[in-house]
Each structure stands twice: as C-alpha cells, then as structure tokens.
Structure 1
Amino acid sequence: MKQICVFLVIILLTSCEYFNVKKTSSDAILNEELQTFNWNDVDKYPTFSLCDSVSTKQEKKQCFTNVLTGNILKYLQSEIIVVTKDLNDTIDLRLQISETGELSLLETKIDSLIIQEIPNINDLLSKSLESIPKIFPGIKRGQEVTTEFKLPIIISVN
C-alpha cells in the first residue's frame, strides 16, 4: 500500500507540468493571423445596386466590371471624337475604390497611337468616371476596405 501511495505522490508531483497553461502573447497571435491573411482578395467585391440580385462572388465581380465598363463606354460614345485612322486597341485603367465608395483613377496605360488620335482621352476617361452610379465598397472580414482594380477598355473607332 505504501508503494502505491509513493507512486501516486510521484505521479502527482511530476504531472503538474501537464496542467501548466502556456501563455501566448497577443503579438504572436497577430503575427500568426497575418501570415494566414490573404491581402489580395476580399470577401465581397465592390458593387453597384444594380448587382444586388446576383448571388455568387464571381458573378458580382463580373457585374461590377460590366456596369463600370458600360458606363465608361456609354460616355465615350456620347462624345464627338474625330480620328484620322481606324483605332482598335485596349486602354488599361487602374482604379481605386475607397472604403467610402469613392472611385479614383490612379493610372492609365494608353498606346501612343490613341494619344496621337485622341489627345484628350485622359480627360474624357476622367469625366466618364464622374457619372458612375453609387459604389458600395468591398468588404474584408466585415470591414469596408479600399480596393484596386485593373480595368481594360477596348477602344474601337472606324
């Protein structure tokens, strides 16, 4: 019986280490969370009220780009643009939508032929963005976030 009691006391004394709780600092938790965080993707893409009926994430992104592209092209088609050569090229726009839903044109990549034929193309693109309907910002983990997009616009003038 003494041997069993001694054995139990030894087990109790050595097993205390199993009950120790290791403390994890908040910095370690934050660093671990930041490692698993995908900074290049959002939970919900920016959207227009026209896209509310669409259900999947990819369809919402497609709807957003279609509405945005459609509004830009509609504005450009309403302007009188006279060219001397046929144009069929792509303009790349880099756009930013702030967490408040404000749209900004960050950069345009335009071929020199388009700039030569339509010297005020940058002004036209900037003005076309002024008539865009209200944008609801992208959402990441329940927070409205700033997002950036590259949007190709095909210019075809005959």
Structure 2
Amino acid sequence: MKHFVFILALLLVCACDDLKVKKTSTEAILNEELQSFKWNEIDEYPTFISCQTSGSQQDRKLCFEQTLATTILNRLEAERIIVNRDVLDTLLIQFKISDSGELSLLNFKVDSLTQAEIPNIKFLVTSSLDSLPAIEPAIKRGQKVNSEFTLPIIIKVN
C-alpha cells in the first residue's frame, strides 16, 4: 500500500509539470501575424456594383477592368480625333481607389509620338473617369482598404 501511495504521488508530481501553461506575449503573437501577413494581396478586388453579380472573384476583377477600359475607350471614340500619322500605342494608366471608393489617377504613361498626335489625351482619359458608376473598394481581412493598379489601354487611330 505504501508503494502504491508513493507511485501515485510520483505520478501526480510528474503530471503537474505537463499541465503548466506556457504564456505567449501579445508582442510575439503580433510579430508572428505580421510575418505571415501578405501586404500586397487583397481578399476582394475593387468592383462596380454591376460587377458584383459575377461569379468568382476573378470574374468580378475582369468585369471591373473591362468596365473601366470600355468607359475610357467610349469617351475617346466619341471625340473627333484627327492625326497626321497612324497611332498605335498602349497607354499605361495607374489608378488608386481609396477605401471610400474614390478613383484617382496616379500616373499616366503615353509615348511621346502619341502625345504629339493627340495632345489632349490625358484630359480625355481624365474626363472619362467622371462618368464611372460607383465603385466598391478592395477588401482585406474584412476591412475596406486603399488599392492601386495599372490598366493598359490600346489606342489605335488611323
């Protein structure tokens, strides 16, 4: 019986060591989370309300890009643009969409030849943005966030 009590006491002492809870500091948890956080990726791309019915996230992204490009191209086609030479160029337009859904033009890259042939091209593109429908901002971890992207648009004038 004495041996049984001794073994039981020994087991209890050993088992108590296994029950110790290791404390992790909040700083360590935060640092670990920041290391695994992907800063350049978003959960949901910005979208127009008309594109929200699209199936997958990739479909909504494509719908957003096509709607934006179509709006800009429609504005350019509505203008009577007269050129001395044929123009075939790709405009690179860098946009920012704020967490409140406001679209702003950050950068506009156009070839110097195209700029010479169509001097008001930046104005035409900028003015086309006024006719865009409401934009829902990008979402990261359930929060609306700022996002930036570049949209290539092919310009062809004969």
TM-score interval (norm. to shorter): over 0.9
Aligned twin of 1:126: 126
> When the two structures are aligned, how many residues end up with a matched partner?
158
Deviates more, 1:21-30 or 1:91-100: 21-30
TM-score, normalised by the number of residues in structure 1: 0.93
Deviates more, 1:116-125 or 1:53-62: 116-125
Distance 1:30 1:86 in 2: 57
- Cα deviation, residue 21, structure 1: 0.9
Aligned twin of 1:97: 97
Stretches of structure 1 that go unaligned for 5 or more consecutive residues are none
Aligned twin of 2:145: 145
Aligned twin of 2:136: 136
Counting aligned pairs with the same residue, the percent is 51
The CA RMSD over aligned residues, in Å, is 1.3
Distance 1:11 1:48 in 2: 65
Distance 1:64 1:149 in 2: 12
Amino acid at match of 1:109: K
Alignment of 1:106-117 (within 5 A): 106-117=106-117
Secondary structure at the counterpart of residue 44 of structure 2: coil
- Cα deviation, residue 155, structure 1: 0.5
TM-score, normalised by the number of residues in structure 2: 0.93
Amino acid at match of 1:25: S
Aligned twin of 2:38: 38
Aligned twin of 1:47: 47
Stretches of structure 2 that go unaligned for 5 or more consecutive residues are none
1:62-81 per-residue CA deviation (whole Å, 9 max, x = no partner) reads 00000000001111111222
- Cα deviation, residue 8, structure 1: 2.2
Aligned twin of 1:84: 84
- Cα deviation, residue 152, structure 1: 0.3
